[in-house]
Structure 1
Amino acid sequence: MTNSLTGLLRQRPYRQLWVARTVSQWGDAFNTVALVLLVYSLTGSGLGVSGVVVAEIVPVLALAPVAGALVDRLPRVRVMIAADLLRAALAFALPFVDGSVAAVYAIAVGLSAGAVFFNPAAQSVLPAIVRERELVAANSGLWTAAVISQIVLAPLAGIVVATLGYTWAFWINAASYVLSALVLGRLEVPTVPAPVSARPWYAQARDGVAAITGDRLLRALAGAQFLAALSAGATGALLVVLAREHLRLGAEDYGLLLGAIGVGAATGPLFLSRLTDDPRRARYVLGPFVLRAAVDAILATVTGLVSAMAALVAYGLATSTGAVTFNSLLQAETPERVRGRVFAGFDVLWQTGRLLSLLLGGLLADLVGIRAVYYLGAILLLAAAAAGSAGLRATEFNRPDPPTP
């Protein structure tokens, strides 16, 4: 059994998936920075920039049921390649319409739509190319590469935009998708999805919902996911408000807070893969919810840059390790034939909760203050841990590892 990232990277299928997703993340780092700067230059308003976030969320809510059914019906690697090529074409076209706000938003929606198909396919492929006991290390490697790419390349993207303009940033993103598609073209997945009947997509989507609601653990994890999203949407977006109104920090200090989160997020999975290779350990799945709740409460209570940065390092660590263990458990528990639909369903839950949190969190901050948002966020995260714990306690985990792929 190989349960280290170094060992996994020696395995060709995982190495190909890791390279494809990491290269794609490089391009995403450039696109994220350039797109926000472009929209702000065109609209001159924070509301305009918020529209980019909405453009990312709406396709998930609209297309995830279709995407999940498609991912379970077609070869998943081909779905990923098609999504990459679509996004490459859209990213390449962006510089030609960068004078129109409507066109930029439309392409942002298209890029997000591509991700709606790519992400559940990628999540579904991973359990087919690694063992169950390798899932934690495999997800840790993917997560760490993504976070480090964002930390390192986001400043570089700003420099590229400032010196060379938006065109090169968007074309770097397009090239990353093409390279990802080329790498995925050589990926051979040992197992294939079970045959799916040619029923309408909405009937197949209902099967995905039934798979979640009919399984006690998946149902509990879905509840935990939604509660966590209700917390994270507002607390993440309103960190700048907390920094200015409660912590009394300047703009330059806000950058340090984001850096602290990045440090924790990058290092968390590396420590996690040394602590456990079991995706079914409750303390590692639910502990991050409790730690994040503690951080939210601390941030709403303390003042001062150093204490806030220390808390946010812990927040980044909890966020990253929680994402890795949660996804690993979900991959281990979800039947092969419905993985695409289940992951698409969890995406819908996350984005729905995030959207509601953004709307209600801003209103709550205006009515009773930003500290209340963070205290409520802590309560929601504790509720998420409790919901997940109920499902874990009710499920027997003394199962043997599945056969080697």
Structure 2
Amino acid sequence: MKLWFARVAGVSASQMLMVAVAWQMYDLTNSAWDLGLVGLLQFAPSLLLTLPAGHLIDRLHRGRLLATCMAVQALCALALAGASAQGVATREALLAVSIVLGAVRAFQMPTQQALTPLLVPREVLPRALAFSSVGLQGAVIGAPALGGLLYALGAGVTYFVCTGLFAVAAALCLWLRYAHSAASSEPATWHTLLAGVRHVWHHKVVLGAISLDLFAVLFGGATALLPIFAKDILHVGPWGLGLLRSAPAVGALAMSLALTRWPVRRRTGHTLLAAVAVFGLAMLVFGLSTSFMLSMAALAVSGAADMVSVVIRQTLVQLETPDEMRGRVSAVNSVFIGASNQLGEFESGATAALMGPVGSVLLGGVGTLVVAALWLRLFPALAQRDALVQAGTAEPGGRARA
């Protein structure tokens, strides 16, 4: 439960931070390109640090490493709070912080993924991941809305609250206890650094699942454009932006609760592909909508569909990877996630600069539907996957002590 509370606090802080950074950037520059650039600068360091991050995660105490990631983000939020309070926050400062956040998340995301199987038995991992998502999606619902309301009092207020939440998350991570195996003495070579890449490449079900998520969200995501939709199309202020950012999490939370009660057991591949197709359709509706309520509903449906994809993908990755390689495989997985999110934000901003925000979202929705159809043919092992949890999958390397 310590990890659960730490992740809820960390996700809440991160969501509020992104609302504040996005709105402040658009307020300063009024540029879709700069909104996309924030995502690109978060993705680039994640890509560069993937291999060394995975190697370190498999060698170091994962709880302490996660605490360090939270602490660094607390310092970033504190720096932005000070700059905003003094009226010296600039486009360059926001972009510089984006680079640091990207570097930190190269370690944070795979560390979190590699920790979870050490704390729960293998047979309940799908439900544990769904239960974890309940808390996380609750944070994603409430935190952006709260961040938007706090931003009305000043950007510095939002950043100060983020600082406190990151500090709480760091403290909780330091208290994590689990059966930590001794660090391997295996030297860092290209062979060991690329072990996670080789594992993913040779397991086509895992490769298909994470690459499907990559391209679906890369094309279909519209997070970076929400400030434009909120301000120029739906005509709502920061509070409306916060609600729009929360809407996908409302659907994801409802789906998390459903998956906790009724986990996916059979027809895994078809369920995954269908969820991605629904995500694409929801984004088409969002792109065409000029109603705030319809836009909220479309985003909620997209969040519910995405949650099905997330739970299936995370379960496949964790159960079919030996513990001694989970850090490296999770690092590879995090690159795919980062590419779909941060690089997807850049893609949205760039296409919006050329085609307008509506054209960008519509193109992305169509692209997502095409990806779902292609993956049905390109990855037959994934499409034909029946049982989610199969006999003979990798066992977690340890159990929680507290």
TM-score where L is the length of structure 1: 0.80
Q: What is the deviation of 1:399?
A: 0.4
1:365 Cα shift?
A: 4.0
Question: Are residues 137 and 387 of structure 1, via their aligned partners in 2, closer, same or farther at CA, if it must alter by over 3 Å?
Answer: farther
Q: CA separation of 1:389/1:275 partners in 2, compared to 1, >3 Å: closer, same or farther?
A: farther
Q: Distance in 2 between matches of 1:292 and 1:193?
A: 42
Of the three residues 137, 149, 156, the one matched with 1:147 is: 137
Which stretch shows the higher mean deviation, 170-179 or 281-290? 281-290
Instruction: Give 1:10's aligned residue.
Output: none
Match of 1:199 among 180, 185, 188: 188
Match of 1:210 in 2: 198
Deviation sequence 1:226-273 (CA, Å, 0-9, x none): 33244224x55557889999xxx6334986766653431221110111
Residue identity in the other structure for 2:391: R
Matching residue of 2:171: 182
Match for residue 323 of structure 2?
A: 336
Q: Letter of the 2:10 partner, please give it.
A: S
Once the two structures are superposed, residues 314-354 of structure 1 have per-residue CA deviations (whole angstroms, 9 ceiling, x without a partner) of 32211122212211221111221121111211222343455
Q: Deviation of residue 104 (structure 1)? A: 3.3
Q: 1:329 to 1:161 in 2, by over 3 A?
A: same
Deviation (angstroms), 1:372: 4.3
1:88 equivalent in alignment to 2:74: yes
Q: Check conservation: 2:287, 2:359, Cα contact below 8 A.
A: no
Q: Deviations over 1:23-68 (max 9, x none)?
A: 1122223322222333344435443333322232222122222211
Q: How does 1:237-316 map to 2 (within 5 A)?
A: 237=224, 250-252=234-236, 260-276=247-263, 278=265, 281-296=268-283, 310-316=297-303
1:127 aligned residue: 117
- Partner SS, residue 39 of structure 2: helix
Amino acid at match of 2:212: A
Distance 1:129 1:258, change over 3 A: closer
Q: Kindly, what percent of the aligned residue pairs are identical?
A: 23
Q: Which amino acid aligns with 1:223?
A: S
Give the structure 1 partner of residue 368 of structure 2. Answer: 377
Secondary structure at the aligned position of 1:73 is classed as coil
1:219 counterpart (207, 229, 232): 207
Of 211-220 and 37-46, deviating more is 37-46
Between the aligned partners of 2:350 and 2:372, the Cα distance in structure 1 is 16
Aligned to 1:78: 64
1:223 and 1:388 in contact (8 A); partners too: no
Specify the code of the residue in structure 1 equivalent to 2:142: V
The more displaced of 106-115 and 75-84 is 106-115
Q: Which runs of 5+ in 1 are unaligned?
A: 1-14
| Whole-angstrom CA distance in 1 between matches of 2:141 and 2:385 | 39
Q: Which residue of 2 aligns with 1:34?
A: 20
Instruction: Indicate whether 1:327 and 2:314 are aligned.
Output: yes
Partner secondary structure for residue 334 of structure 1: coil
Task: Give the C-alpha shift of residue 390 in structure 1.
Answer: 2.5
> Separation in 2 of the partners of 1:298 and 1:44?
25
Post-superposition Cα deviations, 1:165-223, rounded to whole Å, max 9, x if no partner, equal 333322222222221121122211225377251124x4432122111112232232343
For the structure 1 residues 56 and 224, does the alpha-carbon distance in structure 2 shift closer, same or farther, using more than 3 Å as the test? same
Distance 2:213 2:167 in 1: 32
Shifted more, 153-162 versus 64-73: the winner is 153-162
CA distance change for structure 1 residues 386 and 124 in 2, over 3 Å: closer, same or farther? farther
Moved more, 256-265 or 343-352: 256-265
**277-286 vs 299-308, which moves further:** 299-308
Match of 1:349 in 2: 336
**Once the 2 structures are TM-superposed, how far is the Cα of residue 383 of structure 1 from its aligned partner?**
2.6
User: Could you list the per-position Cα deviations for residues 263-290 of structure 1 after superposition, in whole angstroms to 9, with x for gaps in the alignment?
Assistant: 3122111011111265994344443223
Check 1:123–1:175 CA distance in 2 against 1; reply closer, same or farther (3 A cut).
same
Deviation of 1:130 after TM superposition, in Å, equals: 0.7
Q: In 2, Cα distance between the equivalents of 1:161 and 1:299?
A: 25
The structural deviation recorded for 1:361 is 4.5
Instruction: State the shift of 1:123 in Å.
Output: 0.3
Tell me if 1:399 matches 2:388.
no
TM-superposed deviation, 1:19: 0.6
Q: 1:310 to 1:95 in 2, by over 3 A?
A: closer
Counterpart contact for 2:273–2:372, Cα < 8 Å: no
How many angstroms does 1:360 deviate by? Answer: 7.0
Aligned residue identity for 1:111: L
Residues 6 and 173 in structure 2, CA contact (< 8 A), matched pair in contact too: yes
For the 8 Å contact 2:254–2:304, the answer to whether it is kept is yes
| Alpha-carbon distance change, 48 to 368 in structure 1, aligned in 2, over 3 angstroms | closer
Corresponding residue SS for 1:38: helix
Tell me which residue corresponds to 1:20.
Answer: 6
Kept in 2, the 8 Å contact 1:23–1:176? The answer is yes
Aligned-residue RMSD, C-alpha: 3.6
Is the contact between residue 268 and residue 385 of structure 2 (CA under 8 Å) also seen in structure 1? no
Secondary structure in 2 matching 1:140: helix
Q: 1:231 aligns with which of 205, 214, 219?
A: 219
Change (3 A) 1:385 1:186: farther
Q: Cα distance 1:216–1:32, how it changes in 2: closer, same or farther (>3 A)? A: closer
Alpha-carbon separation, structure 2, partners of 1:157 and 1:350: 24
8 Å contact from structure 2 (residues 26, 227) kept in 1: no
User: In the aligned structure 1, how far is the partner of 2:229 from the partner of 2:89?
Assistant: 34
